[in-house]
């Protein structure tokens, strides 16, 4: 995940974004960033943030806000705020390449993830020459972020239905959905400590996890990077971010990289220790996996089952040893 001061390049969209305060730094209260340049394409279309307030401050150039059919032209030093749920557009007032607008979004939600996704899409050439996402990339944006922010028209349910059709046609719609449950003869606190802190995985989840890099123990918004393998002849690299944390009961992480999805661990105390449940919904985004998914889906499930069996073998002795 990007840090304060990092610049997200969006040349295909006429601008770049510099992060000022991140979601992790503000504990999700807000994300603050500067938009530099003259945004175009889908960035300047009418859209809605369902549960977030946007605050704009013009640092240089001009900014035009279109809200409820009315236009507001702001110059340097002027500010405005758009309430949650209100359809609006924000676009350069004079097309100057030197435009500079500071934006705060409250609460932070997944805005930073969205900005990083857009920058990645730009780098991958997933926008057309008019600055709009290509069909599959656009459908994935709606699927992943539509509930939080989306184009004002057509209605969100129509956008989501169209996105499902596009992804189904591209062979990307059906995710892998796994639910695994087992009992561990160790206290919930010790089991939770092992599961929540991914840095411990190479110690007990062997030989699946080869390396995990993280900035520290699990906290809301914290990120870790994983290198792992199963029985199939390939290695995977992923990045995960903790999006929900309630010790010692549950932890949820969003994952991207060679795999994209969400995993939730839920722990329930039992008379002899802890009941563990792992819900894992994942899309195989690596090109090779995309190509093979339609014919090798049963093999991938076998691979997952093998990996979970290794977790079952290693988690209990590790948790008992560290309790």
The reply to whether domains 7-169 and 176-322 share a CATH topology is no
- 59 in helix, strand or coil? strand
- H or E element, residue 27: none
Helices of type H across 68-127: 111-123
For the stretch 60-63, contacts whose Cβ atoms lie closer than 8 Å and that sit 24 or more positions apart, written own/partner, are 60/98, 60/99, 60/100, 61/92, 61/93, 61/94, 61/96, 61/98, 61/99, 61/100, 61/101, 62/92, 62/93, 62/94, 62/96, 62/99, 63/90, 63/91, 63/92, 63/93, 63/99, 63/101
- Are 32 and 21 in contact by the 8 Å Cβ rule? The answer is yes
Q: What is the pLDDT of residue 167?
A: 76
Closest CA to 243 of 252, 255, 256, 234: 252
The mean pLDDT of 302-319, rounded to a whole number, is 95
On the question of pLDDT at 241 being above 60, the answer is yes
Q: What is the pLDDT of residue 284?
A: 61
Q: For the segment 52-75, what is each residue's pLDDT rounded down to a tens digit?
A: 999 999 999 999 999 988 999 999
On the question of pLDDT at 317 being above 60, the answer is yes
Q: pTM of the full predicted structure?
A: 0.61
The mean pLDDT of 258-278, rounded to a whole number, is 93
Q: Which of 73-82, 143-152, 253-262 has the lowest mean pLDDT?
A: 253-262
Q: What is the pLDDT of residue 314?
A: 97
Domain segments of the chain: what residues?
7-169, 176-322
- Are 282 and 226 in contact by the 8 Å Cβ rule? The answer is no
CATH number for the region 7-169 comes to: 2.60.120.10
Handedness of CA 220, 225, 230, 234 (dihedral sign): positive
Rounded Cα distance, 230 and 37, in Å:
45
- 300 in helix, strand or coil? helix
DSSP state of 206: T
CATH superfamily assigned to domain 176-322: START domain (3.30.530.20)
The mean pLDDT of 306-320, rounded to a whole number, is 96
- 227 in helix, strand or coil? strand
Contacts of 36 (CB under 8 A, 6+ apart): 15, 16, 17, 18, 99, 100
Q: Which of 60-74, 156-170, 278-292 has the lowest mean pLDDT?
A: 278-292
């Amino acid at each position: 995940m990007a840090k304060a001061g990092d610049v997200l390049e969006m040349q295909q969209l006429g601008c770049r974004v510099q992060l000022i305060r991140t979601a992790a730094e503000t504990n999700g209260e807000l994300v603050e960033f500067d938009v530099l340049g003259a945004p175009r394409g889908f960035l300047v279309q009418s859209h809605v943030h369902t549960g977030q307030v946007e605050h704009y401050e013009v640092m240089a150039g001009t900014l035009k806000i279109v809200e409820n059919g009315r236009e507001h032209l702001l110059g340097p030093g002027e500010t405005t705020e758009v309430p949650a749920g209100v359809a609006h557009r924000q676009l350069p007032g004079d097309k100057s390449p030197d435009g500079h607008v500071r934006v705060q979004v409250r609460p932070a939600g997944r805005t930073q993830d969205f900005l990083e996704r857009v920058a990645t899409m730009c780098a991958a050439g997933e926008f057309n020459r008019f600055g709009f996402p290509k069909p599959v990339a656009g459908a994935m944006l709606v699927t992943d972020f539509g509930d939080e922010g989306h184009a004002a028209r057509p209605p969100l349910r129509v956008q989501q239905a169209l996105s499902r059709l596009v992804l189904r046609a591209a062979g990307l719609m059906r995710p892998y959905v796994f639910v695994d449950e087992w009992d561990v003869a160790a206290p919930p606190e010790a089991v939770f400590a092992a599961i929540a802190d991914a840095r411990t995985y190479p110690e007990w989840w062997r030989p699946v996890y080869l390396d995990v890099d993280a900035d520290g123990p699990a906290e809301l918004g914290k990120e870790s990077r994983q290198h792992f393998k199963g029985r199939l002849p390939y290695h995977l690299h992923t990045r995960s971010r903790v999006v929900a944390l309630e010790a010692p009961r549950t932890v949820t992480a969003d994952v991207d990289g060679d795999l994209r999805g969400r995993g939730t661990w839920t722990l329930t105390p039992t008379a002899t220790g802890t009941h563990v449940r792992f819900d894992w919904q994942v899309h195989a985004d690596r090109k090779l996996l995309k190509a093979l998914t339609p014919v090798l889906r049963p093999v991938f499930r076998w691979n997952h089952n093998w990996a979970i069996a290794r977790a079952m073998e290693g988690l209990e002795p590790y948790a008992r040893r560290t309790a």
